[in-house]
């Protein structure tokens, strides 16, 4: 790393900005050469030229970013990030809300930081590594922000619904019901040209049906938006139709389910018993990375006992990085065949969106109610 001329630099106003005055009083105690240039106003003739200003930041190790007169945010932070200096910001929840986890140096509004900077400025290896860490983080943050903005623009410039959406269904039983279930979904949807693709799960307990499922979803997503409906999970009610899903204005919509209630120590909160995905560059990239990752999941006996739950948890980790998704409480829309059968009179009047055919006990009652 090329040696910097200044330990720190500050160029700007301190009037009516009390924490900046404390900041400079403390920073002047730091050993080594620094650059300080105070001005009286925003457009003062005392201001440095753009070239001088830029050169000084590029030749400084640290750039203190004291809060302004109205906000803790300041343009100095972004100048420092762009020019390769290490910014120091005042500790505030604002930064966590804006950036999430970040590597920026923070301090209190008292700026009692001179001894720490003396120690850090002597450790050239730390400075080199931390500058690189900040640069990599900033590059990633800008890239993610760009993706979010692009998605917003896509929503503005495209219609709310595409011309084609594939409904992907899978089951081990009830194929006729599955086809009729799709017909009901089509009936509840006014604005889409729906296509139906159905295939059966492998029957072997240890077959990688989760991998097969996501490969099919990726394949169908190349053609257009996809709604995946889990095995033996069939539409009966109209609450979860496409108009509702597109109305969420998210790239991905999944069910929420607390697997901790099942005694599985996954700390997971989603289920892909149904998952709706809009086709765009972001979702295609996400799914390709996710499918690659689940091929490498450790597969022991515990994994095979709760195979789908482990894969759902992996998908949730990717969704948290992706950010533009919504969850819908699974219990709000789906009931098992067994629960339905025990409350037939209620559900005939208030049908759920889905019924999960698990035990083949109340098949005839449900068939008579919805599929004849």
Q: Which 8-state DSSP code applies to residue 251? A: S
Determine contact, residues 240/354, Cβ cutoff 8 Å: yes
Determine contact, residues 1/127, Cβ cutoff 8 Å: yes
Check residue 168 and give its pLDDT.
73
Q: Is the dihedral of CA 209, 210, 212, 216 positive or negative?
A: positive
Check residue 174 and give its pLDDT.
46
Whether the per-residue pLDDT at 124 is higher than 80: the answer is: yes
The helix or strand, by DSSP H or E, that contains position 329, with its residue range, turns out to be: strand 325-329
Nearest-5° Cα angle at 121, 120 to 124: 90
Q: Which residues pair with 252 in a beta bridge?
A: 277, 325
Confidence grade of residue 213 (pLDDT, cut at 50, 70, 90): confident
Give 67-97 pLDDT, tens digit per residue.
877 788 999 999 999 999 999 999 998 998 8
Check residue 329 and give its pLDDT.
76
Domains and CATH numbers, the chain: 6-154 (3.40.50.2000), 159-371 (3.90.550.10)
Helix, coil or strand: residue 9: strand
Whether the per-residue pLDDT at 224 is higher than 50: the answer is: yes
Check residue 207 and give its pLDDT.
56
Q: Is 258 exposed, middle or buried (0-12, 13-18, 19+ CB in 10 A)?
A: middle
Query: Would you tell me how many other CB atoms lie within 10 Å of the CB of residue 161?
Result: 19
Whether the per-residue pLDDT at 265 is higher than 70: the answer is: no
Comparing 68 with 66, the larger pLDDT belongs to: 66
Whether the per-residue pLDDT at 278 is higher than 70: the answer is: yes
Q: Is the dihedral of CA 56, 62, 68, 73 positive or negative?
A: positive
Query: For all residues of the chain together, what is the average pLDDT?
Result: 78
Pairing of strands 270-277, 225-229: antiparallel
Confidence grade of residue 1 (pLDDT, cut at 50, 70, 90): very low
Average pLDDT over residues 322-332: 78
Check residue 161 and give its pLDDT.
46
Check: pTM over 0.95? Answer yes or no.
no
CA distances to 17, 58, 84, 97, 126 from 87, rounded to whole Å, are: 18, 12, 9, 18, 15
Whether the per-residue pLDDT at 188 is higher than 60: the answer is: no
Give 332-349 pLDDT, tens digit per residue.
666 666 666 667 666 666
Confidence grade of residue 50 (pLDDT, cut at 50, 70, 90): very high
Determine contact, residues 331/207, Cβ cutoff 8 Å: no
Residue whose C-alpha is closest to residue 166's, from 220, 234, 246: 220
Check residue 89 and give its pLDDT.
95
Whether the per-residue pLDDT at 327 is higher than 60: the answer is: yes
Query: Would you tell me how many other CB atoms lie within 10 Å of the CB of residue 70?
Result: 7
Integer Cα distance of 84 and 65 in angstroms = 14
Comparing 319 with 42, the larger pLDDT belongs to: 319
Whether the per-residue pLDDT at 355 is higher than 80: the answer is: no
Whether the per-residue pLDDT at 4 is higher than 70: the answer is: yes
- Most confident range (mean pLDDT) of 184-193, 290-299, 353-362 is 290-299
Average pLDDT over residues 258-269: 63
Comparing 237 with 45, the larger pLDDT belongs to: 45
8 φ/ψ angles, rounded to the nearest 5 degrees? -150, 165
Q: Which 8-state DSSP code applies to residue 367? A: I
């Amino acid at each position: 790393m090329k040696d910097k001329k200044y330990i720190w630099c500050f160029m700007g106003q301190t009037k009516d900005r009390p924490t900046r005055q404390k900041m400079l009083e403390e920073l002047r105690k730091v050993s080594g050469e620094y650059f300080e240039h105070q001005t009286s106003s925003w457009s003062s003739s005392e201001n440095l030229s753009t070239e001088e200003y830029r050169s000084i930041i590029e030749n400084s190790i640290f750039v203190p970013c004291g809060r302004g007169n109205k906000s803790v945010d300041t343009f100095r932070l972004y100048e420092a990030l762009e020019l390769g200096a290490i910014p120091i910001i005042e500790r505030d929840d604002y930064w966590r809300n804006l950036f999430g986890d970040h590597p920026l140096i923070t301090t209190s509004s008292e700026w009692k930081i001179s001894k720490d900077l003396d120690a850090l400025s002597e450790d050239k290896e730390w400075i080199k590594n931390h500058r690189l860490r900040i640069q990599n983080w900033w590059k990633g943050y800008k890239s993610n922000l760009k993706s979010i903005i692009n998605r917003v623009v896509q929503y503005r410039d495209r219609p709310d619904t595409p011309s084609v959406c594939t409904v992907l269904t899978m089951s081990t039983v009830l194929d006729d019901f599955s086809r009729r279930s799709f017909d009901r979904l089509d009936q509840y949807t006014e604005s889409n040209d729906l296509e139906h693709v159905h295939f059966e799960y492998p029957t072997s307990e240890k077959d990688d049906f989760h991998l097969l499922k996501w490969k099919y979803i990726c394949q169908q997503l190349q053609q257009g938006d996809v709604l995946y409906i889990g095995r033996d999970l069939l539409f009966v009610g109209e609450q979860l139709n496409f108009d509702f899903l597109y109305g969420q204005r998210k790239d991905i919509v999944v069910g929420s389910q607390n697997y901790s209630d099942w005694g599985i120590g996954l700390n997971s909160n989603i289920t892909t018993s149904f998952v709706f995905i809009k086709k765009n560059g972001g979702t295609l990239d996400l799914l390709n990375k996710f499918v690659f990752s689940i091929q490498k999941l450790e597969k022991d006996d515990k994994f095979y006992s709760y195979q789908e739950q482990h894969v759902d948890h992996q998908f949730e980790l990717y969704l948290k990085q992706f950010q533009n998704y919504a969850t819908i409480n699974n219990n709000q829309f789906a009931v098992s065949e067994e629960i339905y059968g025990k409350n037939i009179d209620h559900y005939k009047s208030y049908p759920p969106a889905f019924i999960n055919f698990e035990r083949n006990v109340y098949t005839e009652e449900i068939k008579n109610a919805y599929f004849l």
